[in-house]
C-alpha cells in the first residue's frame, strides 16, 4: 500500500528534470543567440570596413587617369623646363662672355684715353712753345720794322745817295709788316689749336673718368652674370632631376593603378566574404531559433500560439501603449512594436486584450517581430476568460489543422511507398547536398530525390489545393527550407532575364529559409499556425496565414507541409 505514491514522485522528478533541462536549453539558446548576433555585428563591421577600403581603392583607381594626365603634363612641362633652363644657362654664359669682352674693351679704352690725355698734354706743351717762338718772331718783326723806319729816315736825309738804301729799307719795312701779320695769323691758329687741345683734353679726361666709373659697374654685372650662370646651371641640373623624377612617377602610375585595382578587388572579395558570412550568420540565427523553439526537447512553450489580431492596451513601467496582437496563446502574446517607443525587457504591468479585463504580464524580450509578452500564470480568473477567447480561435483553425495533418500523412505515405518499392534510398530521400541549377534567377537547386518527388507528389498536391478556394499553395518543405515541388501555377519554367516573373511563377526547386519557412521546416509540434508577408518578388508582398504540420518518413523528421490561405 505504501508503494502507491512512487509513480507520482517519479512523475514529479521527471517534470523537475524536464523543467531543469528546458531551463538549461533556454540558457544555452540565449548564449548561442548572443554569440551569433555578435558574430553578425562583427561581420557587418568587417563588411563596412571592406566596403570603405574598396571605395577608397576604387577612388584611387578612378583618379589614376587624372594622375596619368597630370604626370604627362608635368613630364612635358619638365622637358620644357629643362630646355628653357638650358637656353637660360646658354644665355647666361653668353652674357658672361659679353661682359668679359666689354670689360676688356673698357680696359683698352681706358688705356687709350690715358694715352690720349698724355698726347693732349704734349700737344699743349708744343703749342705753348710754338706760341713763344711766334711771339719771338713777332718781336723781331717789330724791331725790324722800327729799324726799317729808322733806315728810311736816314735814307731820306742822305738824299739821292740814300735812295737805294731807302728802297731797301722800305722793302724791309713792308716785309716786317707782312711777317707781323703772318705771325698774328699763326698766333690765332696756335690759340685755336691750344683751345681745341685743351677742350679735347677735357673731353678725354671726362671720357676716362666715365670709363673708370663704368668699369666697376661692368665688373659687377660680370660677377652677377657669373652668379646667374652658376644659378641657371643649378636650375638646369634640378630641372633635369625633376624631369627624371616625373618620368619615374609616370612609370609608376601604372603600378599604382594595378595596385589600386588589386586592392579594390581584394576589398570587394573581403566585402563579399563578410557579407556572405553575415548572411550565413543571419541564416544560422534564423534557423537556430525556430529549431530550438520547435524541437521536442527544447520547446519551452506549453501552449499553442495562434495568429490573431486584437486591439490591446498595455501599461508597462508607467508607460501606456496601444498596440495589436500578432499571435496569442494562453502563456503569452506577440505584440506589434510601436515605432515611437523604446522599451526594455523585464518591465511588468498589465495588458487588456479586446474586451477582457487587465491581465498581469511581463515583457520578456523585443525582436524584429515585436514585443514578446508572458502572462502571469497566477492570474487564474483572467486566464480563464482568455481561455474562452482562445477556444473560439482554435475552433476556427481546427479544420485547417486537421487538413494539414492529413496532407502530411498522405505525402509521408507516398514517400514511404517509394522507399518500400526501392524507387529511392533513404539516404537519397533525405539528401541535403543541394546542387545549384545553372542559369536560374532566383537560384534553383536540385538533389538526389528531386526527380522522384516531381513524379509522385504533384497529383496529391493539386488535389489538396483544389479542396479550398482560399488556398494559395500546398507544398512540402524539407528541414532546411528546400521546396522541391510546387503547385503547377507556381512551378513554371523560368524566363531568362526576368527574375521578377520567376520569383512569382517559378517557386519550385528553391530554398526558403526565412523565418516562416524555417519554422515550418523545423517544427515538430503537431501543428503550427503563422501569418506573415509573403515575398512575391519585385517588391510585391501579400499577407498570408499558414497552417503547417510536420512530415515524418520512416520514423525520421523529413520536414513539413505548408498550406497557405488568403487573408
Closest residue by Cα to residue 508 from 447, 431, 426: 447
Asked if the model's pLDDT at residue 438 lies above 50, the reply is yes
3-class DSSP assignment, residue 440:
coil
**pLDDT computed for residue 238 by the predictor:** 75
Q: Which domains does the chain have, with CATH numbers?
A: 1-296 (1.10.287.950), 301-378 (2.40.10.220), 405-566 (3.30.450.20)
Average pLDDT of span 42-62: 80
pLDDT band at 276 (very low <50, low <70, confident <90, very high): confident
Main-chain phi, psi angles of 61, to 5 degrees: -60, -40
Percent of the chain with pLDDT over 70: 80
Pair 325, 369: CB distance under 8 Å: no
Instruction: Tell me the mean pLDDT in the region 189-198.
Output: 74
Q: Which of 1-10, 137-146, 194-203, 530-539 has the lowest mean pLDDT?
A: 1-10
Largest CA distance in the chain: 226
List, for residues 442-471, the tens digit of each pLDDT value. Answer: 999 999 999 999 999 999 999 999 999 999
Radius of gyration of the chain (CA): 62
Q: Is the pLDDT of residue 94 over 90?
A: no
490: confidence class by pLDDT, cuts 50, 70, 90: very high
CB 75, CB 246: distance < 8 Å? yes
Secondary structure class of 357 (helix, strand, coil): coil
Q: Which residues of 254-275 are buried (b: 16+ CB within 10 A; e: fewer)?
A: eebbeebeebbeebbebbeebb
**DSSP collapsed to 3 states, 469-516:** CCEEEEEEEECCCEECCCCHHHECCCCCCCHHHHHHHECCCEECCCHH
Element (H, E) at 529: strand 528-537
Amino acid at each position: 500500500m505504501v508503494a502507491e505514491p512512487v509513480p507520482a514522485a517519479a512523475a514529479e522528478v521527471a517534470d523537475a528534470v524536464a523543467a531543469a533541462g528546458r531551463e538549461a536549453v533556454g540558457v544555452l539558446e540565449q548564449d548561442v543567440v548572443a554569440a551569433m548576433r555578435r558574430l553578425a555585428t562583427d561581420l557587418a563591421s568587417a563588411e563596412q570596413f571592406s566596403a570603405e577600403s574598396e571605395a577608397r581603392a576604387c577612388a584611387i583607381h578612378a583618379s589614376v587617369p587624372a594622375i596619368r594626365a597630370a604626370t604627362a603634363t608635368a613630364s612635358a612641362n619638365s622637358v620644357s623646363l629643362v630646355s628653357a633652363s638650358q637656353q637660360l644657362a646658354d644665355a647666361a654664359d653668353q652674357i658672361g662672355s659679353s661682359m668679359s669682352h666689354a670689360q676688356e674693351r673698357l680696359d683698352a679704352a681706358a688705356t687709350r684715353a690715358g694715352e690720349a690725355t698724355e698726347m693732349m698734354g704734349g700737344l699743349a706743351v708744343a703749342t705753348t712753345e710754338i706760341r713763344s717762338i711766334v711771339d719771338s718772331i713777332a718781336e723781331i718783326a717789330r724791331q725790324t720794322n722800327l729799324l726799317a723806319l729808322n733806315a728810311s729816315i736816314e735814307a731820306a736825309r742822305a738824299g739821292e745817295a740814300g735812295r737805294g738804301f731807302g728802297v731797301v729799307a722800305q722793302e724791309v719795312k713792308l716785309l716786317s709788316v707782312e711777317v707781323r701779320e703772318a705771325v698774328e695769323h699763326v698766333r690765332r691758329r696756335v690759340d685755336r689749336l691750344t683751345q681745341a687741345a685743351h677742350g679735347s683734353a677735357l673731353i678725354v679726361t671726362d671720357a676716362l673718368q666715365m670709363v673708370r666709373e663704368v668699369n666697376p659697374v661692368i665688373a659687377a654685372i660680370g660677377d652677377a652674370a657669373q652668379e646667374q650662370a652658376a644659378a641657371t646651371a643649378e636650375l638646369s641640373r634640378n630641372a633635369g632631376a625633376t624631369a627624371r623624377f616625373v618620368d619615374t612617377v609616370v612609370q609608376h602610375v601604372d603600378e599604382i593603378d594595378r595596385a589600386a585595382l588589386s586592392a579594390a578587388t581584394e576589398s570587394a572579395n573581403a566585402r563579399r566574404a563578410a557579407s556572405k558570412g553575415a548572411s550565413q550568420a543571419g541564416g544560422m540565427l534564423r534557423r537556430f531559433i525556430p529549431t530550438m523553439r520547435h524541437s521536442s526537447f527544447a520547446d519551452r512553450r506549453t501552449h499553442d500560439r495562434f495568429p490573431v489580431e486584437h486591439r490591446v492596451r498595455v501599461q508597462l513601467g508607467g508607460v501606456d501603449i496601444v498596440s495589436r496582437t500578432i499571435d496569442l496563446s494562453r502563456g503569452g502574446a506577440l505584440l506589434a512594436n510601436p515605432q515611437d517607443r523604446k522599451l526594455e525587457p523585464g518591465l511588468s504591468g498589465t495588458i487588456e486584450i479586446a474586451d477582457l479585463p487587465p491581465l498581469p504580464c511581463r515583457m520578456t524580450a523585443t525582436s524584429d517581430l515585436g514585443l514578446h509578452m508572458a502572462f502571469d500564470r497566477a492570474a487564474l480568473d483572467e486566464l480563464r476568460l482568455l481561455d474562452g477567447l482562445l477556444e473560439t480561435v482554435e475552433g476556427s483553425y481546427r479544420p485547417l489543422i486537421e487538413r494539414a495533418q492529413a496532407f502530411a500523412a498522405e505525402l509521408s505515405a507516398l514517400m514511404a511507398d517509394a522507399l518500400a518499392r526501392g524507387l529511392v534510398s533513404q539516404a537519397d530521400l533525405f539528401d541535403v547536398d543541394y546542387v545549384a541549377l545553372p542559369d536560374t534567377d532566383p537560384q534553383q537547386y536540385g538533389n538526389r530525390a528531386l526527380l522522384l518527388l516531381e513524379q509522385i507528389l504533384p497529383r496529391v498536391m493539386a488535389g489538396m489545393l483544389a479542396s479550398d478556394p482560399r488556398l494559395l499553395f500546398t507544398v512540402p518543405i524539407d528541414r532546411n527550407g528546400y521546396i522541391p515541388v510546387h503547385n503547377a501555377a507556381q512551378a513554371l519554367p523560368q524566363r531568362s532575364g526576368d527574375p521578377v516573373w520567376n520569383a512569382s511563377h517559378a517557386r519550385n526547386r528553391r530554398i526558403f529559409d526565412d523565418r516562416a519557412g524555417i519554422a515550418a521546416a523545423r517544427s515538430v509540434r503537431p501543428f503550427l499556425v503563422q501569418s506573415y508577408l509573403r515575398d512575391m518578388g519585385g517588391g510585391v508582398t501579400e499577407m498570408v496565414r499558414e497552417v503547417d504540420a510536420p512530415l515524418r518518413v520512416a520514423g525520421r523528421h523529413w520536414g513539413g507541409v505548408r498550406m497557405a490561405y488568403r487573408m
